[in-house]
Amino acid sequence: MKIGVIISTYNNPEWLEKTFWGYMAQSRKADEIVVADDGSKDETRLLIERYSQFLPLKHVWHEDIGFRKTKILNEALKAAESEYLIFTDQDCVPRRDFVATHERFARPGYILSGGYFKLPMDISKKLTQDDIANGNAFSLKWLKANGLKTSFKCTKLFQSSGFASFMNAVTPTKATWNGMNSSTWKELIINANGFDERMQYGGEDREMGERLFNAGIKARQIRYSAIVVHLDHNRPYVNSEALAKNKEIRQTTKKQRLTYTNFGIVKP
């Protein structure tokens, strides 16, 4: 099957480039990579043009008039030609087996729910293309030598398939749709009419997943198998009014068991 990756981005070409390095190093290459650009300046466009010689990139952009990630994701969905889609963000650098892992676990009628391992800012800045290609960025030994503090979350980087399968099964974290590491069949998302464009930052990705669950789609946990390292950044777009509105929309989706939104790809 053809596998596409949709990467959301906004004015962070430094982190986006490091993420591109991760996709250049994949053991199973993506058939297409659609960059869903929520209004970045020319520096991002020039970066995408430069890396188009190494990766099968498509750039989907709209004007910056505030946080409109869900709208640009819907535009990216329309541009994507692959039957199976992985969704992620500009600051999530994939391990070498990331695309292959999503492909291996993909099943009809399921979404896959991954996670991330957060890096501090100093290590995020330090990562080179060689570090990502040779696996240093995902090696606990290398990360600790460069100042990473030990915690239980480090278990995500244990490179043992048996341990990963065990942890996927016993983790108390619920398998949900999340924007930085999830995948499913394009057809299922289209049937749900894509992302609700009323949603701003804060659970904007999960609402679409909740509609899929209402339609009978199941979720499979792969947070210990499909690994990305998350580069550090601030979040200036967070505001309480948007969070409250998002919460209200999600509550309606759950209460009414909605499987479709009238505020998605197709408008009434």
Banded model confidence at residue 155, pLDDT cuts 50, 70, 90: very high
3-state secondary structure the chain: CCEEEEEEECCCHHHHHHHHHHHHCCCCCCCEEEEEECCCCHHHHHHHHHHCCCCCEEEEECCCCCCCHHHHHHHHHHHCCCCEEEEEECCEEECCCHHHHHHHHCCCCEEEECCCEECCHHHHHHCCHHHHHCCHHHCHHHHHHCCCCCCHHHHHHCCCHHHHHHHHHHCCCCCCCCCCCEEEEHHHHHHCCCCCCCCCCCCCCHHHHHHHHHCCCEEEECCCCCCEEECCCCCCCCCHHHHHHHHHHHHHHHHCCCCCCCCCCCCC
Q: What is the pLDDT of residue 235?
A: 65
Q: Give 84-138 pLDDT, tens digit per residue.
A: 999 999 999 999 999 999 999 999 999 999 999 999 999 999 999 999 999 999 9
Query: What are residue 34's DSSP bridge partners?
Result: 6, 58
The CATH architecture assigned to 3-255 reads Alpha-Beta Complex (3.90)
Query: Which of 253, 237, 244 lies closest to 196, judged by CA?
Result: 253
Taking residues 28-42, report their average pLDDT.
Answer: 98
What pLDDT is recorded for position 240? 84
The encoded tokens of residue 191 equal 């049937």
What would the mean pLDDT of 36-63 be, rounded to a whole number? 98
The predicted pLDDT at position 86 comes to 98
Residue 164 reports pLDDT greater than 90:
yes
Q: What is the mean pLDDT of residues 73-86?
A: 98
Instruction: Report pLDDT for 165.
Output: 95
Please give the pLDDT value at position 205: 87
Q: What's the one-letter identity of residue 59? A: H
pLDDT at 237: 61
pLDDT at 56: 98
pLDDT of 73 reads 98
Tracing tokens 């676990």 back to the chain, one arrives at 105
Nearest in space to 147 (alpha carbons), one of 115, 121, 166:
121
| Structure token digits, residue 214 | 């209402």
Tokens of 141: 């030994």
What is the average pLDDT score of the chain? 95
- In this prediction, residue 70 carries a pLDDT of 96
pLDDT digits (tens, 9 = 90+) for 223-256: 999 999 999 976 666 678 888 999 999 999 999 9
The pairing of beta strand 92-94 with beta strand 228-230: antiparallel
% of the chain surpassing 90 pLDDT: 90
CA distance 114 to 221: 6
Does 54 score more than 90 pLDDT? Answer: yes
pTM: 0.96
- Partnered with residue 155 across adjacent β-strands are none
Average pLDDT over residues 206-217: 97
